[in-house]
Chain A
Amino acid sequence: MSTDTNPGPGITGDAAATDAKQRNKRARQVLFGCAAFTVLTTLAIFFVLIDNAVSYFYGARATEMIFLGVEPQSAVGLIEFLNVRELLAGEARWAPEHATPSHNAWPIIFGTLAITVGAAFVSIPIGTATALYVSEYASPQVRSKLKPTLEVLAGIPTIVYGYFAIAFINPVVLGPIAGLFGINIGRYSMLSGMLVVGIMTIPMVSSISEDAMQAVPDDLRNGAYALGATKYDVSVSVVTPAAISGIFASYILAVSRAIGETMAVTLAAGFNANITANPFSEIMTMTAYMVSMARGTSAIGTIEYQSLFAVGLVLFCMTLVMNLLNDWFKRRFQEEYR
């Protein structure tokens, strides 16, 4: 960096500057190390997932085939795993551990999708309305109480939500309703899972949406008020469209969370993989299956055990799609106000 002509003090490297440079360099190395650790861990998880999932479909892990020369053999075919014909015929069965095993994953995919969609019907409207209330309607005093409350709600461990479902939502709220239809509700139900995951993800929608709404400049609100807009007009036709990209991001995060949600949904919706339209019947999500398999009796390395990784891979793909969707929305609906 030094040149022949000295341009003045503090520009060329004296001792102090060299010291600062050293420190800067070390800080850079530490930070890079941490970032690299994160990336490597993620890659390792992804690698283990794929490696094991391969053994579900080909009888041996990818690493075994490459490094130990194990011959691939067909175990569970991809066609079998995602057999649409059986799905349409209503014969799809997910029972890898059964005496007559069946490896059609649609029932648990259905379970996850049903819970996710059902939860979205709860969290999106209520979360958005909450965000609008907190951001646009609530007085500063109310807001200062409501925001921390929502954050507490977001911080409750999911197992607690799970027990809330099993001890309250299902028997106390849904039991009598099911009774009206002459249905005897069991310990678990699909609707209970939808509700509890929906409730769990409300704070996610509301707090992220509210941040986006708060970021809308007051200039825009005042412009609308000065035209004779009511609070409702301003909320619906100015704030919401201006904050739409953040609001969408909150929906996608909530949906991703619902897809991956495990503890609460396992306790609420149950362990019985089946495709049903009856909201009071027990179903099983992919995550619930993974929990029961991981703590079950199947030996590590068996096909039933390796199904864990195949299901995990499907789950991973679903959340990946949500992430891509998020990116796309962000680009498409960039916050436009300046």
Chain B
Amino acid sequence: MSTSEDSLITTEVSSERTGRSDRPDETVLAARDLDVYYGDERALASVDVEIPEHKVTAIIGPSGCGKSTFLRCINRMNDQIAVCRVDGDLSFHGKNVYDDDVDPVALRRRVGMVFQKPNPFPKSIYDNVAYGLRIQGFDGDMDARVEEALRGAALWDEVKDQLDSSGLDLSGGQQQRLCIARAIAPDPEVILMDEPTSALDPVAASKIEDLIDELAEQYTVVIVTHNMQQAARISDKTAVFLTGGKLVEFNETAKVFENPDEPRVEEYITGKFG
């Protein structure tokens, strides 16, 4: 990361994205006073945030500040962690996902997720992409949906002749795009990405970045990243968490990177802290 004051992260790419930013913000996800505990340890402290529809929202912050925890709250993947407890409100289209009548399985079918480490199933490429639809009992034209998802993940041309070969035979970057295809195949509304490029080389990473840009046309994307330039390049809005699980700044990406309200955020972005 840069260390001098005057080399604040460039936001030139971000300003290209005004086309999308022009639309009025429609809130899809809203956290209100959200606390998360692992046992007695608090990982998120009264987080308030409103995530707009069809935008890319980046979440940045130092290691251990609760970025992944926040992401896992949204699709209730925290349910898998026995010691994890969530307090407060996290609403999806106005409905608190922690209400008793919410089925996490149904929620996750509308909120897809891509993980840090590519994790394709040890199945064929086709079966990987079809998995989500199959478990939902989809009985339409599967071939078409698989192709659509692979095209959406910019992977179709590379794999169209080897759909039957194992997803594990692909390169890391291809595997991650396969995971993206797998996530978008059931046509969710929101896609959560937890450092999706951190295990990839720069070329593969930049392919994914281009892809995220396109995905935002159709989906609401929330992406955790450690890469400031990446956040600046691809996101419309940026949320900055700092140690202690506090959300200290949430604003237009350009604003966060050029002129943050919080001095600590500026320090973090310029690499003086964290």
Q: Using CB atoms and an 8 Å cutoff, list the residues of chain A in contact with chain B.
A: 139-140, 217, 219-230, 233, 237-238, 241-242, 336-338
Closest chain B CB from A294 CB (angstroms): 48
List 7 additional A-B contacts (Cβ < 8 Å) besides A219-B115, A225-B80, A226-B108. A139-B82, A223-B121, A224-B131, A226-B75, A226-B183, A227-B183, A242-B122
Contacts of A220 in B (CB 8 A): 119, 121-122
Contacts of A230 in B (CB 8 A): 105, 135
Q: Using CB atoms and an 8 Å cutoff, list the residues of chain B in contact with chain A.
A: 75, 77, 80, 82, 105-109, 112-113, 115, 117, 119-123, 131-132, 134-136, 166, 168, 179, 182-183, 186
Q: Is the CB of A241 within 8 A of B183?
A: no
Q: Is the CB of B77 within 8 A of A226?
A: yes
Q: Is the CB of A219 within 8 A of B117?
A: yes
Residue of A nearest to B79 (CB): A225
Q: Is the CB of A227 within 8 A of B122?
A: no
Tell me the bound Cα distance from A241 to B168 in angstroms: 14
Tell me the bound Cα distance from A126 to B212 in angstroms: 46
Closest chain B CB from A196 CB (angstroms): 37
A140-B82, A223-B115, A233-B135 known; A228-B122 Cβ under 8 A = no
Closest chain A CB from B32 CB (angstroms): 24
Closest chain A CB from B265 CB (angstroms): 30
A228 touches which of B120, B123, B179, B186 (Cβ 8 Å)? B186
Q: Is the CB of A338 within 8 A of B115?
A: no
Q: Is the CB of A229 within 8 A of B119?
A: no
Contacts of A222 in B (CB 8 A): 77, 80, 115, 119
Closest chain A CB from B22 CB (angstroms): 31
Residue of B nearest to A232 (CB): B135
Q: Is the CB of B77 within 8 A of A219?
A: no
Tell me the bound Cα distance from A324 to B234 in angstroms: 55
Q: Is the CB of A227 within 8 A of B75?
A: no
Residue of B nearest to A230 (CB): B105
A to B CB contacts below 8 Å, 16 in the list: A219-B119, A222-B80, A222-B115, A223-B115, A226-B112, A226-B113, A226-B115, A226-B183, A227-B135, A227-B183, A227-B186, A228-B105, A230-B135, A242-B121, A336-B122, A336-B166
A227 touches which of B80, B106, B108, B166 (Cβ 8 Å)? B108
State the main secondary structure of chain A at its contact with B. helix
Tell me the bound Cα distance from A227 to B186 in angstroms: 8
Q: Is the CB of A227 within 8 A of B77?
A: no
Contacts of B107 in A (CB 8 A): 228
Tell me the bound Cα distance from A226 to B121 in angstroms: 13
Q: Is the CB of A237 within 8 A of B77?
A: no
A140-B82, A220-B121, A226-B77 known; A237-B108 Cβ under 8 A = no
Q: Is the CB of A228 within 8 A of B132?
A: yes
Q: Is the CB of B135 within 8 A of A229?
A: yes
Contacts of B77 in A (CB 8 A): 222, 225-226
Residue of B nearest to A219 (CB): B119
Q: Is the CB of B115 within 8 A of A227?
A: no
Contacts of B135 in A (CB 8 A): 224, 227-230, 233, 237
Contacts of B105 in A (CB 8 A): 228-230
Contacts of A224 in B (CB 8 A): 121, 131, 135
Contacts of B179 in A (CB 8 A): 223
Contacts of A237 in B (CB 8 A): 131, 134-135
Q: Is the CB of B182 within 8 A of A227?
A: yes
Residue of A nearest to B117 (CB): A219
Contacts of A337 in B (CB 8 A): 122, 168
Closest chain A CB from B28 CB (angstroms): 17
Contacts of B121 in A (CB 8 A): 220, 223-224, 238, 242
Closest chain B CB from A203 CB (angstroms): 27
Contacts of A227 in B (CB 8 A): 108-109, 112, 131-132, 135, 182-183, 186
Tell me the bound Cα distance from A229 to B106 in angstroms: 9
Contacts of A140 in B (CB 8 A): 82
Closest chain A CB from B104 CB (angstroms): 8
Residue of B nearest to A221 (CB): B80
Residue of A nearest to B111 (CB): A226
Tell me the bound Cα distance from A337 to B119 in angstroms: 9
Q: Is the CB of B119 within 8 A of A241?
A: no
Contacts of A338 in B (CB 8 A): 168
Tell me the bound Cα distance from A225 to B112 in angstroms: 10
Contacts of A238 in B (CB 8 A): 121
Tell me the bound Cα distance from A35 to B15 in angstroms: 71
Q: Which 3 A-B pairs have the closest CB atoms?
A: A228-B109, A336-B122, A226-B113
Q: Is the CB of A225 within 8 A of B108?
A: yes
Tell me the bound Cα distance from A131 to B120 in angstroms: 24
Tell me the bound Cα distance from A105 to B182 in angstroms: 57
Tell me the bound Cα distance from A228 to B77 in angstroms: 10
Q: Is the CB of A336 within 8 A of B168?
A: yes
Q: Is the CB of B186 within 8 A of A241?
A: no
Contacts of B183 in A (CB 8 A): 226-227
Closest chain B CB from A112 CB (angstroms): 36
Contacts of B136 in A (CB 8 A): 228
Tell me the bound Cα distance from A316 to B183 in angstroms: 52
Residue of B nearest to A236 (CB): B135
